[in-house]
Amino acid sequence: MLERLQKILSMAGISSRREAETLITSGRVSINGLVTTTLGSKADPSVDIISVDDKPITVRKERIYILLNKPAGYVTTLKDPDGRPIVTDLIKDITERLFPVGRLDFNTDGLLLLTNDGEWANRLAHPSHQVPKEYHVKVRGEVTPETIAKLSNGVKLDDGWTAPAKVEIVRTIGKNSWISIVIHEGRYRQVRRMCETVGLLVARLIRTRYGDLQLGEIKPGTYRHLTQEEIRSLIEGKPDKQQKIKTQEKDLHKKKNRGK
């Protein structure tokens, strides 16, 4: 059966569909020995020989879904030109090629999903899916109610305003505070930049929740397989209700201001 080349690469666990487009346009993919750079190209994985960097790929039926507690000091790319450790180095007993669903910064800890199911990863990463993600942030200095209000209502970054977030103080220890920030966007270093914008210095950042999945008691550097129910719930889950209401209120407020 003919399938788009991007879909075949994601089904084979090579990459997400978006990353597959880059592989194709850069001339790294071939069908039956002929390099193709056309994104609309199709092939039949049961008949055609599809290769990436001259290595034939196999579309496997087994799908793997991992929840990893990423320690700081690892990158969430599959290769790093600087030779830093990559998150897949932590997956010791799985021979399938896995890739991360989204990214966490080099210095950020916490919940990271890995899979070889490109379709599943692509659906989770799509902006319309709006999966709520919770971060616990250790910051230096006093966190005032005004600061919490600014983060909650949205702050202006260099790439535009952030959507409203759910923000609260978890605990205060001496001159340091831990705050919880729940967002549904996925901008580059978003939580760190939000904190910096309101004058908070981030000492540590941990992602503790992704959708309904909690980091729980999983130790840094270890992982577990997701259950079938967890796999389905991430795709079928609805956006955080409170987050959605706040987003609608913010959009309405912007429209009123434009009308003045």
Per-residue pLDDT of the chain (260 residues; tens, 9 = 90+): 788 898 888 878 788 778 889 999 999 999 999 999 999 899 988 789 999 999 998 876 678 999 999 999 999 988 889 999 999 999 988 888 899 998 899 999 999 999 988 889 888 887 777 899 999 999 997 899 999 999 999 999 999 999 999 999 999 888 899 999 999 988 889 999 999 999 999 999 999 999 999 999 999 999 999 999 999 999 886 544 444 444 444 454 444 444 44
Using a cut of 0.75, tell me whether the model's pTM lies above it: no
Q: Following DSSP, what letter does each residue of the chain receive, concatenated?
A: --EEHHHHHHHTTS--HHHHHHHHHTT-EEETTEE---TT-EE-TTTS-EEETTEE----S---EEEEEEPTT-BSSS--TT---BGGGG--S--S--EESS---TT-EEEEEEES-HHHHHHHHSGGG---EEEEEEEES---HHHHHHHHH--EETTEEPPP-EEEEEEEETTEEEEEEEE----TTHHHHHHHHTTPEEEEEEEEEETTEE-TTPPTT-EEEPPHHHHHHHHHPPPPHHHHHHHHHHHHHHHHHHT-
What is the model's pLDDT at position 50? 94
**Active-site residue among 48, 82, 89, 105?**
105
What residues are paired with 52 via a beta bridge?
29, 55
Domain ranges of the chain: 3-56
* 105 in active site: yes
CATH number of 3-56: 3.10.290.10
What is the model's pLDDT at position 251? 52
